[in-house]
Structure 1
Amino acid sequence: MHLSKTTRSSRLPLKEIINDPEAEIKDVATARTFLDQLYTIQGEPATLEHILHVLFYISQSKGINNTLHSAIHATAYLVKDLTMSEVAKSITTAVSSKIKNSVIAAISPQIANILSAAEKLEKTNKNTALEGMKNHIKSQPPATPTLYRDVLAASPANPNHILLGKCLAPEYAMAHTAIKEQQLLIDPSSNHPLLNNTVTRESTIDLIKQALEMVDQIDGPNLQLRSIAQLCNNGILLKFNNQEAVAWIKEPANKMAFLAKLGGDVVIKDRHYTIVIPFLPILTDTDNPDTLHDMENENNILQGSIARIKWIKDPAKCTPNQ
């Protein structure tokens, strides 16, 4: 233990004073033995309070001069101050511990009651909600399955919807036919230099307008292009103001001039309608163009109206005796 000098009453170092070989008191044991003989009770612990008492008793011994008496008294009062601090600290610790324990003991029942009440309230709410749900389910009428046809029948009818197996009303059919007769379908090849998916819409419109200007309009109807639609298959659907304009462009001379201006491989596709002819002899040569011409002549059909003819089922796939 390192002891530094904190007093100025002696010129000797504190270490030499403590380790003085001629001193009668050399350690705690000899100090306690000496004090037990004169001032303290043997066997009692040496507390600050006991040391304080010993100092005051020593100051009353005979043969002590005033300076030594004052020094002992001063030391005793300092020890007394330390004693009071230790007592206050111990009292504070004891009181704080008791207060803490008392507060915990006092509020523990209330906290327990609050937690218990909260748990009971939660259970009550759950039970109430569950009972309410059960009662609601019981009060509902038993569910009956609804057939799909009944759902369809109950749905409001769409006036524009055409039921399967039914034909268009005459007015709808006439309007639909009139719209188609005002349309002209142009079918350019996939490698057409001017009419393809890479060309802008503005360029396509300009080219078609230039091609229409090449059509002879003398004695012809009023040609007014209403709309241009680019189809997914690279086709172009033109709509005119009337069906006479479409028929005029389809005239051979006008058609040739119109397609020549468009350039490349491009055709005007007519609208075709499929007709089933029953009981046609299987010996009919469908690949011969004269067959189509004979059908048109015998049935008073305009020449070129029949585009092509084919079998529904390839005769080569029929059985020999069929």
Structure 2
Amino acid sequence: MSGIENDDANPQLTRIAARDAIKARQILINAAQDGPIAPDKTSHAQLVEKIKAALKAITKEGNKTLEMRAVTQYRNGGTIIEMLTEEDAKYLKQSENKEEFIKHLDPKATFKERAYPVIIQFAPLTFDPDDIEQIRELERENNWEQETITMARWVKPPNKRTNHQQVAHIMLTMKDPKSANDGIRNGVTLNQARLQMKKNKREPIRCAKCQNYGHIARECLSHHDTCANC
């Protein structure tokens, strides 16, 4: 999985940092097939102009203009917008701003957050991953931004625990690769206990033809191959 480090390898930190910097500037959008920015309803040039117009509609402090660096749209409607700066991307991802942006770009389109699944090992069973306040406290304890954790659950269902079990693994889905990488490198604290965190090795299904997730090549509807590196 791109975006967070593999704890079993010796990562090339410069390459990872550069890749993460690009991802931090990116906005992910799904365009509806019957929407105005669907792949078969707009050219690349027209899509660029629509995005620029929608960005101009967002008011930023000091009347600064939000600017994008590049845009890529796939045949399934998936659209990646790379902003000029990480600051612009974070600003656009704020709830009120992304709603305004979508309203001007395509009301049928939806924002997507990148997902970075990790596992906290041997967490005490006194922690409740279903308790949102405990999740927010976990974020505060590790200096993560609020709502960095988008999902939390025990890896093994509670009804399969042994009678004397006191710890278990927790699976987290995070939306910030930097926080995920920091936790993998340095560990995390949970209720003042230092615990280890690792990358979840179960990779999502990815099509070798179009490079999108959720299906395999023999089920792909794309008419063209897409380079996995580009």
Per the normalisation by structure 1, the TM-score is 0.41
Q: Aligned pair 1:291/2:134, yes or no? A: yes
Structure 1 match to 2:35: 193
Residue type matched to 2:150 in 1? A
- Aligned match of 1:306 in 149, 153, 173? 149
Aligned to 1:173: 16
Q: 1:240 to 1:273 in 2, by over 3 A?
A: same
What is the distance in 2 between the residues matched to 1:172 and 1:198? 35
Which structure: greater strand fraction? 2
Write the distance in 2 (CA, Å) between the matches of 1:232 and 1:313: 38
Q: Distance in 2 between matches of 1:301 and 1:245?
A: 19
Aligned twin of 1:184:
27
Q: CA deviation at 1:191?
A: 5.3
| Aligned match of 1:243 | 86
1:215 aligns with 2:58: yes
Tell me the distance in 1 between the aligned counterparts of 2:148 and 2:107: 26
Q: Report the count of equivalent residues.
A: 157
Which of 99, 116, 122 is the matching residue for 1:279? 122
Rg comparison, structure with higher value: 1
Question: Which residue in 1 is equivalent to 2:71?
Answer: 228
Distance 2:140 2:52 in 1: 38
Distance 1:279 1:184, change over 3 A: same
| Amino acid aligned to 1:308 | M
| Alpha-carbon distance, 1:236 to partner | 0.6
- 3-state SS of 2:17 partner: helix
Q: Deviations over 1:79-136 (max 9, x none)?
A: xxxxxxxxxxxxxxxxxxxxxxxxxxxxxxxxxxxxxxxxxxxxxxxxxxxxxxxxxx
> Which structure 2 residue ranges, 5 or more long, are not aligned?
1-6, 166-230
- 1:1-16 counterparts in 2 under 5 A? none
Matched ranges for 1:18-57 at <5 A: none
CA distance in structure 2 between the partners assigned to 1:292 and 1:192 by the alignment: 38
C-alpha contact 1:214 1:258 (8 A) present in aligned 2: yes
Name the structure with the higher helix share. Answer: 1
Q: Is the 8 A contact 2:35 2:108 kept in 1?
A: no
The answer to whether the 8 A contact 1:182-1:241 is kept is yes
Stretch of structure 1 that moved more, 195-204 or 232-241 = 195-204
TM-score by length of 2: 0.55
Q: Structure 1 residues 178, 267: closer, same or farther in 2, change over 3 A? A: same
Cα deviation, residue 308, structure 1: 1.1
Task: Say if 1:183 and 1:246, in contact at 8 Å, map to a contact too.
Answer: yes
Between the aligned partners of 1:306 and 1:175, the Cα distance in structure 2 is 23
Which 5+ residue runs of structure 1 have no aligned equivalent?
1-163
Bigger relative CO (Cα 8 Å, ≥ 6 apart):
2
Would you say the 8 A contact 1:229–1:238 is kept in 2?
yes
Q: CA RMSD in A?
A: 3.0
> Which residue identity is paired with 2:36?
L
